[in-house]
Structure 1
């Protein structure tokens, strides 16, 4: 089994990978150590990697865990690892995801691509419903990887992992299996292979079930609960999505019921901030979206306006 990406291939580790994994681990020893528990000297030997791979094969065969190598398509070099750990079946159908990437390849989108491939495989083939991740709050690069891959923040787990002799807080993030969620709203979202995947976190095609009631929420703006409008663009974005969430809840709907969102802005959007609040809003199931810059909105103090179409039934 190989998961094919644009620049990488993600595949289960095998014994023939021992030398390459050892090289990856030794060259990034100090870098990786900042984010993981203590590893003994045996780990940094070929024998240690062989034992690790054999355990990974056994775990894979017994559904106890999954370890994947990230391989460059053009050279065959192993540049990182992704692991699914602590799988729980029964009524939960959940697991945790973790990853490491060669420091020389950080910040180039390789890990985001790898996480997306593994998440899709975990949902479609391994039939997980929920995947969780824990990231130290200062590790913004890893946080952005998960947010770009569709994860949403859920809260802080205080002092829950011992890293290098110190108990560290971790931001908990999670993503849900879209196919499972579709059963609740009846709405189906997909990205057909006839065209390239979306350039951002949204969906190409939305299918509404027959007989569903159509609700249109007029353009919403970023007023706070008291009706005051902040000057800051980021605050207006946050308040606008929060207001939409309240309107959906008032109709007993969730973001799963959204058919289409149209966004208009009069000044440049901070996309890092937008993707963070956008991921929280849609919870890992990005709806169809159109975003445009316009010369002005109804009032000069308005910087963003968002219109929502939803379906119930």
Structure 2
């Protein structure tokens, strides 16, 4: 038999063996739990490269990840809304509109078009120093921050995410003074410094109308309750939490517990998707089991565990599981 023909036959035989072995391996992998991790290899590789190089000693998303985290963490979902990704599926839109039902909601597409005439339609403030280890401090409002002296540690992060009405003035030693991103919704809005990004969590179309109004005419003064008609914020640094991402958090991470996630949990998931290392402060009760805010003297105030909207216990359990798996580092304060 001529040499070229023998080489061709050997090549075809080798190719057949490779295809047969690969087919057997993957058909076995998806049936056998002992090889469970193969199921996530391609998704994790996509996640690793899409997020860019990580220079941390330990990166939150690693190729040798455990199945529990890999099954929930999906980097393909963008936390923030832009012109390009603002279109919602019918399923997502119906779910989102159900969260805080409106009797006669405005046309969503028209509101979004108007919104991106007021604020940037591109996400400009999330890619700081991607070539190095990107660190986040997520600062909750728990009373366990009082007397913690975490201020300098919090301020040392690249991104410092605060939420709702949490103040820094007068509490700098415990909670820090820097804020890069402040997450809020209309009913919890406060004024911000010019260099801070406002991250709006919209639970209804009216919330998008409110941010337009609050940055311009100030005509909207009431949603389901009285709201601040105008706020001090840099409109060029206003970001919108994506309803699609909100639904992903609710379904993948909370598995349908509660009506929708709390602002604290949404802030934590934002950090998981934009940072390589995530430090979490001010979550949970204080050392006496009280659930209150660090700026309140009344330890019985501010409780959110049984609001009927959020499942605080389930959220806290997921947060602690993330800490146990070394995806985040929890600082429990006092």
TM-score (norm 1): 0.27
- Which structure has the higher relative contact order (CA within 8 Å, separation 6+)? 2
More helix by percentage: 2
More strand by percentage: 1
